[in-house]
Structure 1
């Protein structure tokens, strides 16, 4: 299929207009089609979520990547509890685990550091990851906290359904 150059397209439309081919019915169809496309693109996240739910209901299966797990480090157990509670109160996650006193080795300013931190495991919908990251960064005591996300590729269907119920859509 050969693409029509913009100038040729403009000449074609001018000719159609002169000959009355572009009548009001055609313009109406063009306008409705354009509005439909704009509406479909703007509603894509919600439509995608609905499609995932319908797929799960109709097939009894799980769509990989619909849920994610985030790892978040914190300096101590109290900070981890504060972050976790704030995430849960905002319904950004279905559940959170706190692993106290994990040993951490990392590079900082060219030196290997050895520290004790508390690790938070956050389970949420993949569509909510950026909301979780932005919120955690806004309240975290570290200037550059570790926040890593991993897509869930499978698991208990009943648990995944519970997660869908626990975390509202965007």
Structure 2
């Protein structure tokens, strides 16, 4: 029973420990936040996905980069197309929720969703990110 309780409370306890560590030491815990790259077929798709991510408070910020040229293998052929890139900043603990959500709303069969942990950065910006993203 105690083990089940600890497992259920693990995400809350981890967040609390990270916040205490940061408050006591004044330092950032590497990997607590992440950046996701998501390619979209059109600017409207990128705007729709970006806005819905923001409305759900799953990210602190979403940048929409203009058209990029993408070359990739698909069904044995090299394809060359234009795409729009989303740059999403969030907590690492929310990455899997974001991946699941984006896959559900993205028009591609296999959308590109890649995440990178943030090792360090501006403490003020990282604090702002922390405050902007929901705990749900």
Q: Could you say which TM-score interval applies, normalised by the shorter chain?
A: over 0.9
TM-score using structure 2 length: 0.96
RMSD: 0.9
Deviation readout 1:47-68 (Å, 9 max, x if unpaired): 0001111111111100001000
Q: Which residue pairs with 2:14 in the alignment? A: 48
Which sections of structure 1, spanning at least 5 residues, go unmatched? 1-34
Q: Which has the higher strand share?
A: 2
Q: Which has the higher helix share?
A: 1
Which sections of structure 2, spanning at least 5 residues, go unmatched? none
Residue 100 of structure 1 and its aligned partner are, at CA, apart by 1.2
Deviation readout 1:133-153 (Å, 9 max, x if unpaired): 111111111111000010111
Instruction: Give 1:102's match in structure 2, choosing from 41, 55, 68.
Output: 68
Q: Which has the larger radius of gyration?
A: 1
How many pairs are equivalent?
136
TM-score using structure 1 length: 0.78
Residue 99 of structure 1 and its aligned partner are, at CA, apart by 0.6
Residue 119 of structure 1 and its aligned partner are, at CA, apart by 0.4
Q: Is 1:62 the counterpart of 2:28 in the alignment?
A: yes
